[in-house]
Amino acid sequence: MAVVITQLFNGISLGSILLLIALGLAITFGLMNVINMAHGEFIMAGAYTTYVVQQAFSHYIPASLFNYYYVAAIPLSFLIGALLGFVLEKTLIRFLYHRPLDSLLATWGVSLILQQVARSIFGAPNVAVTAPTWLDGGLTIAGAVLPYKRLFIIALVTICMVSLYLYLDKTAAGRKMRAVTMNRSMASSLGVSTKKVDATAFAIGSGLAGIAGCALTVLGPIGSTIGTYYIVDAFMIVILGGIGSLIGTVFGALSVGMLGTIAEFWSGASMAKVIVFVAIIAFLQFKPAGLLSARTRSLE
């Protein structure tokens, strides 16, 4: 029972991290048809923001308040990621809408540039972020220990999902974003500024990637290539879930997380990657649109 609970928890935990990373891609890819290879660098930006906030608290804030640095780092990571995404959209992405190949090449170049900038500022070696003491330890259930760090990440992802749902469903700006996703030309003819919606969506997606980077800092060291490790998995999840479908992205992330954890338990980390890839490719042969395709209002 302990082994089963541990594997289920690890699968949900991994799926939660992948979901937070893939949410931003699901928004931008589904809305603008832009393949953003620099998405991983927004994760890196959020991770390094957390590191900088930790250093600032350790040098300029009383030691008794050090454990609260992480609370300040989460919104700052979102803001830094969103700001970078907004600037990138205004200066480059808006000229590449509905040009997937061009956007792939251009954002890949931006990815390499941002990685080199990070190396120049923080150095090539990885840096460590000390997790707050209130995240030490774990919850014991039926002999299985569930680390507080991963429980916190699951809670953080849940909050982000609920917040995104409320934004898209309950606010005027969110409803405009959904309208543009369903039918861009019709939304534009009804007075919706599609350029403004695109910039907002790209900033939100980049900010979510920044939060993902902040979450990853409690699991291990961070470096300039931290986003590269997750970007392929994130694209797989978006395609598996259905391009433009946020609910599909949720199911896709949890499916990949559970399958990867179970495969790694039985066969090892390297073989688990192969098994996940093969399973996704096989599934897409039978259902190319993914688990849940996004609804549109356009005529065929």
Structure tokens at 164: 């995104």
Query: Whole-angstrom Cα distance, residue 6 to residue 141?
Result: 9
Query: Whole-angstrom Cα distance, residue 283 to residue 101?
Result: 24
**275 Cβ contact list (under 8 Å, min separation 6):** 259, 263, 267
Residue 295: the pLDDT is: 56
Residue 299: the pLDDT is: 43
Query: Whole-angstrom Cα distance, residue 139 to residue 146?
Result: 5
Any idea which residue has 């990657």 for tokens?
273
Q: Tell me which amino acid residue 181 is.
A: T
Task: Calculate the alpha carbon distances from 59 to 55, 65, 126, 153 in Å.
Answer: 6, 11, 20, 27
Task: Calculate the alpha carbon distances from 105 to 44, 92, 117, 203, 300 in Å.
Answer: 20, 12, 19, 20, 30
Residue 300: the pLDDT is: 43
Identify the helix (H) or strand (E) that includes residue 278: helix 269-286
For residue 85, the cross-strand partners are none
Q: Write down how long the chain is.
A: 300
Q: Where are the alpha helices (DSSP H) in 92-191?
A: 100-122, 148-170, 172-182, 184-189
**230 Cβ contact list (under 8 Å, min separation 6):** 17, 18, 21, 40, 43, 212
Quote the pTM value.
Answer: 0.89
Q: Where are the alpha helices (DSSP H) in 171-193?
A: 172-182, 184-189
Please give the chain's pLDDT, 300 residues, in tens.
777 788 788 888 888 888 888 888 887 776 677 778 888 899 999 999 999 999 999 888 887 788 889 999 999 999 999 999 999 988 888 888 777 778 888 889 999 999 999 999 998 888 888 888 888 888 888 777 888 888 999 999 999 989 988 998 888 888 888 888 777 888 888 888 888 888 898 899 899 999 999 999 988 888 888 888 888 888 888 888 877 677 888 888 888 888 888 888 777 777 887 888 888 888 888 887 777 765 554 444
Answer for the pair 20, 78: CB distance below 8 angstroms, yes or no.
no
Identify the helix (H) or strand (E) that includes residue 57: helix 39-60
Three-state secondary structure readout of 219-268: CCCECCCCCHHHHHHHHHHHHHHCCCCHHHHHHHHHHHHHHHHHHHHHHC
Structure tokens at 142: 């039926």
